[in-house]
Amino acid sequence: MKPFSLFHRSTSSEARCGLLETAHGTIETPAFMPVGSQGTVKGLEPEEVRACGFRMILGNAYHLFLRPGHELIESMGGLHHFMQWDGGILTDSGGYQIVSLADLCKITEEGVGFRSHLNGDWHLLSPEKSMAIQVALGSDIMMVLDHCPPFPCTESQAREAVQRTTRWARRSVEVPRKDHQWVFGIVQGGVFHALRKESAQGLIDINLDGFALGGLSLGEEKSAMFEMIETVVQELPPARPRYLMGVGLPEDLVEGVARGLDLFDCVIPTRHGRTGWLFTTTGRVLIKQAQYAKDPGPVDPECGCPVCQKFSRAYLRHLFVANEMLGVRLNTIHNLWYYGSLMQGLRQAIREDRFAEFRSEFYRRRISESQSTKELGEEVPG
């Protein structure tokens, strides 16, 4: 069975719609995956995540290996059963921790040696070990272990990471896996066009089911990120899914889709919900601001989420200021609903071949709200 099939392309851009087949359901693309690194999308039950429009979430092999352990999860029936999620699961390999926990890591050809951020124990995460963990978890899509260089880095450092990532990918695909599991490679190369092409070509030569773009949104300019996306997409086979890792402001999703990407994940909607940053069709709402203390209206009058249908901005501000956990949950539900609606709108626009109009209207609405551009200093991508 092929993991991916295309069924519509935009005539005005590289945007496309497809179907990603998993043993736990079919995912319409382009799709966003909420992050559930520890086996949970923070604060929400699986049914609530599904109600927001999502059919696939992301887990993290590194975190689940350290706690509670992949052997325990496997003994409990795998990650799907353990967390009672019946949709698709993509598990990250742990490669990003090379960057985020750099002071605890040591990289060799064998793998990544690291000290647990929980108790200081020393572990070695090899390509084979990372795959074995993900096999035990039972995820639908497994990411190969990659070497993600920091930003900024030299061209020499980026080249070393590219070459090691390719060698690790070759080792990863040799690990036996369950019949339902797909394996994606990760294109590295920093902000160097030639290295991104080299990385993509090296991975294409390996029997991989899909491709991801890693090492972006680490501090580079947005224009550089978009250039790297365009460079890599030109190299990748169109019949395989393309996944942008860890990038996820609303405009990033729109622009990623415009450039031919199919899958996205990011902590932004859930993390920002916990800090009181709410997404709306006209920009952001910082719910802690005093201007909302007596505001009887919903966060977004055009939003159909259960939060906007029931609660006022004044009440949400009260919950946030009072540090009530209900406020965090409601904010998270609203933000995920916004993201789910955005992706649904993008898919529908592509199917109806009006993506260009959707994209223009997305920015027009945001520009009309001064908070969305002038306060944030955001640029509208071309």
Among candidate residues 225, 196, 226, the one with its CA nearest the CA of residue 211: 196
With respect to residue 70, please indicate whether it lies within any of the assigned structural domains.
Answer: yes
The H-or-E segment that residue 331 falls in is: helix 325-351
The structure tokens listed for 259 are: 């450039």
* 94 & 202 share domain: yes
Q: How many CA atoms lie within 13 A of 156 on its CB side?
A: 0
Show the domain range for 342. Answer: 273-375
* 139 & 165 share domain: yes
Domain boundary among 240, 264, 288: 264
* 260 & 227 share domain: yes
Burial class (CB in 10 A: 0-12, 13-18, 19+), 354: middle
Rounded CA gap, 199 and 181, in Å? 23
* 162 & 51 share domain: yes
* 238 & 114 share domain: yes
Domain boundary among 247, 264, 281: 264
* 258 & 279 share domain: no
With respect to residue 255, please indicate whether it lies within any of the assigned structural domains.
Answer: yes
Cα 199 to chain centroid distance, Å, stands at 20
With respect to residue 240, please indicate whether it lies within any of the assigned structural domains.
Answer: yes
Active-site choice (146, 252, 265, 300): 265
In sequence order, the 6+-apart residues with CB closer than 8 A to the CB of 119 are none
* 65 & 180 share domain: yes
With respect to residue 359, please indicate whether it lies within any of the assigned structural domains.
Answer: yes
Q: Distance of CA 235 to CAs 161, 197, 276, Å?
A: 19, 7, 40
Q: For each of the chain's 382 residues, which pLDDT tens digit applies? A: 679 999 999 999 999 999 999 999 999 999 999 999 999 999 999 999 999 999 999 999 999 999 999 999 999 999 999 999 999 999 999 887 766 777 778 899 999 998 888 999 999 999 999 999 999 999 999 999 999 999 999 999 999 999 999 999 999 999 999 999 999 999 999 999 999 999 999 999 998 999 999 999 999 999 999 999 999 999 999 999 999 999 999 999 999 999 999 999 999 999 999 999 999 999 999 999 999 999 999 999 999 999 999 999 999 999 999 999 999 999 999 999 999 999 999 999 999 999 999 999 999 999 765 444 344 444 434 3
> Residues 276-330: pLDDT tens digits?
999 999 999 999 999 999 999 999 999 999 999 999 999 999 999 999 999 999 9
* 158 & 22 share domain: yes
Rounded CA gap, 217 and 371, in Å? 22
Rounded CA gap, 39 and 3, in Å? 24
With respect to residue 381, please indicate whether it lies within any of the assigned structural domains.
Answer: no
Domain boundary among 241, 264, 287: 264
With respect to residue 94, please indicate whether it lies within any of the assigned structural domains.
Answer: yes
| Sign of the alpha-carbon torsion through 128, 132, 135, 137 | negative
Active-site choice (92, 140, 209, 300): 92
* 248 & 344 share domain: no
CATH number at residue 118: 3.20.20.105
* 110 & 228 share domain: yes
Q: Distance of CA 129 to CAs 47, 88, 125, 172, 348, Å?
A: 32, 22, 6, 9, 40
* 105 & 14 share domain: yes
* 200 & 277 share domain: no
Supply the pTM of this predicted model.
0.95
With respect to residue 92, please indicate whether it lies within any of the assigned structural domains.
Answer: yes
**What SS3 class is residue 72?**
helix
With respect to residue 307, please indicate whether it lies within any of the assigned structural domains.
Answer: yes
The H-or-E segment that residue 17 falls in is: strand 16-22
What's the number of domains the chain is made of? 2
Determine whether 265 is an active site residue. Answer: yes
- The residue whose two tokens read 């978890």 is 137
Determine whether 103 is an active site residue. Answer: no
